[in-house]
């Protein structure tokens, strides 16, 4: 098989559903005149290369080998480390099914150099382990591991040594990112050929640690295939956000109206409006409760603020290029009347917060709209529980588009952007510091601003999610995650929405945080 398996922390933009990966591997082997065993061998070499790079002090490595091809990768690694002079202890799971041919061949390779060296799951472990390799279960796991395996996984999670997961942490659903019972908590994960959705969304980021990818020498073939799912990172921002023309003026940058802010909720609407300004909107008009007008003008005089009435709303809708509605709006008759008028417009719009809650009560379907629900709002829209949304976030996002049209942004760890006619996207940006009030209001403003600057709906949604999450990563890099505020993220937007500027903070290409 041609090519050297490159190991990279810079993630590719391709991601494939788990039920398509076996077919993808077969296609790549046929195209590249290779075999599944060659892929297994290159996986072992890639693992060894990562160990030399990240865990170079390893003197004694314990490898948990399952009975499938993931275990085969582990046996190849065991052989390579042994040949390099590293002490290796293999813990071999008991067979319940016949071992695949490639994995049997890899086990025979190890048995030839270390006969009778493998431990059974009941044997005690050595005390001087520097690194644990998780090669128990791969992407084919569909149900909770057996009791014996879960006991092994608990031992791993209690052990102080770092853990390197092979392809995916054992016990994690590779499609949804949800735990299937006990999951091994990896320090690092090296995944092969392409990203798996479960590593990017749901609980996947919490279990996979630092994420690395090895292309197994096949990167030259992947661009010719169309990935059903795209992985978005900050490196995508320049394609959406070019530098402005020297002759640009505020009228070119979009006239935005943001509607919301019931009495006592000026904060939400201020965050959306200010985020729109920081994301490059030319003019931002706020329609809100009259009690919010002077506080908003005092806090951010660049906003144009007026009382929300039927007359002001009709005039603003006629004036605006883009409409956003919902932040802090409530569900009173005042809010319902505003939404009724907005529904009549054919202009691009963003619905968030209480606009989504009212949509759940009175559903409709339209294509000129971006929806921005968190899992609770998505559950109300779909008539299911939050747990059901989180159990399969990709499916939930697709269902939102099927039912309500337009573009759906399902927020959370690994935010998903879905639109019926293009590939679904997962954004690998952001961090747990964003678990505080007002972050969704900021995202609404960013999406609205990008729509006003001429991006198509799905591109505006993708760019906004990535810019928003990247800005939060910059905050975390400077100040840490705990105590992060929505206004802190707005401050960093001026960096993330200018990706072509010569700025050291932007050009840090490393994943700032994996969690």
Q: Which residues are annotated as a binding site for K(+)?
A: 70, 134, 170
130 near 58, Cβ under 8 Å?
yes
- For the chain, what is the total number of helices (H) and then of strands (E)? 19, 18
146 near 66, Cβ under 8 Å?
no
Residues placed in the known binding site: 69-73, 134, 138-144, 167, 170, 268, 328, 374, 411-415, 440-441
Sign, Cα dihedral of 106, 111, 114, 120: positive
Extract the tokens encoding 26.
């077969």
Q: Which of 275, 221, 199 is nearest to 441 (CA)?
A: 275
Extract the tokens encoding 252.
């070119």
Alpha-carbon distance values, 450 to 4, 37, 286, 444 (Å) = 40, 47, 17, 10
The beta strands (E) that lie in 33-152 are given as 60-65, 87-92, 131-135
Torsion of CA 496, 225, 193, 15, to 10 degrees: 50
Residues placed in the known binding site for AMP: 411-415, 440
- Residues paired with 349 in a beta bridge: 323, 369
Residues placed in the known binding site for (6S)-NADPHX: 69-73, 138-144, 167, 268, 328, 374, 441
121 near 148, Cβ under 8 Å?
yes
């Amino acid at each position: 098989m041609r090519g050297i398996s490159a190991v990279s922390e810079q993630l590719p933009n391709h991601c494939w559903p788990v039920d398509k990966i076996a077919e993808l591997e077969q296609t790549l082997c046929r195209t590249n005149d290779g075999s599944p065993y060659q892929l297994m061998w290159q996986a072992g070499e890639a693992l060894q290369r990562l160990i030399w790079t990240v865990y170079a002090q390893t003197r004694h490595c314990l490898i948990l080998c399952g009975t499938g091809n993931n275990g085969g990768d582990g046996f190849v690694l065991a052989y390579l480390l042994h040949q390099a002079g590293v002490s290796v202890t293999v813990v071999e799971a008991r067979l319940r099914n016949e071992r695949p041919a490639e994995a049997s061949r890899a086990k025979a390779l190890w048995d030839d150099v270390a006969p009778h060296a493998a431990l059974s799951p009941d044997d005690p472990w050595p005390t001087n382990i520097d690194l644990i390799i998780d090669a128990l279960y791969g992407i084919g796991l569909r149900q909770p591991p057996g009791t014996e395996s879960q006991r092994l996984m608990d031992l791993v999670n209690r052990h102080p040594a770092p853990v390197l997961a092979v392809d995916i942490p054992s016990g994690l659903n590779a499609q949804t990112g949800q735990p299937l019972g006990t999951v091994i908590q990896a320090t690092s994960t090296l995944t092969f050929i392409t990203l798996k959705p479960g590593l990017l969304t749901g609980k996947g980021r919490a279990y996979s640690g630092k994420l690395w990818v090895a292309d197994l020498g096949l990167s030259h073939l992947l661009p010719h295939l169309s990935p059903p799912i795209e992985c978005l990172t900050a490196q995508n921002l320049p394609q959406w956000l070019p530098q402005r023309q020297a002759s640009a003026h505020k009228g070119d940058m979009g006239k935005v109206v943001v509607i919301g802010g019931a009495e006592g909720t000026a904060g939400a609407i201020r965050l959306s409006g200010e985020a729109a300004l920081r994301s490059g909107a030319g003019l931002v008009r706020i329609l809100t409760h009259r009690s919010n007008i002077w506080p908003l003008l005092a806090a951010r005089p660049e906003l144009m603020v007026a009382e929300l009435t039927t007359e002001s709303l009709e005039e603003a809708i006629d004036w605006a290029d883009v409409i956003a509605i919902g932040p802090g709006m409530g569900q009173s008759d005042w809010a319902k009347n505003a939404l009724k008028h907005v529904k009549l417009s054919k202009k691009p719009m963003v619905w968030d917060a209480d606009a989504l809650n009212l949509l759940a009560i009175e559903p409709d379907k339209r294509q000129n709209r971006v929806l921005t629900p968190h899992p609770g709002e998505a559950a109300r829209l779909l008539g299911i529980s939050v747990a059901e949304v989180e159990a399969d976030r990709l499916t939930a996002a697709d269902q939102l588009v099927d039912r309500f049209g337009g573009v759906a942004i399902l927020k959370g760890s690994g935010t998903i952007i879905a639109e019926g006619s293009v590939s679904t996207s997962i954004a690998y940006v952001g961090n747990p510091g964003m678990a505080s009030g007002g972050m969704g209001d900021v995202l609404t403003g960013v999406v609205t601003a990008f729509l006003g600057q001429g991006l198509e709906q799905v591109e505006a949604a993708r760019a906004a999610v990535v810019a928003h999450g990247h800005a939060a990563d910059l905050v975390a890099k400077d100040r840490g995650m705990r105590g992060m505020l929505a206004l802190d993220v707005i401050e960093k937007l001026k960096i993330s929405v200018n990706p072509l500027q010569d700025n050291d903070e932007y050009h840090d290409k490393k994943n700032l945080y994996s969690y």
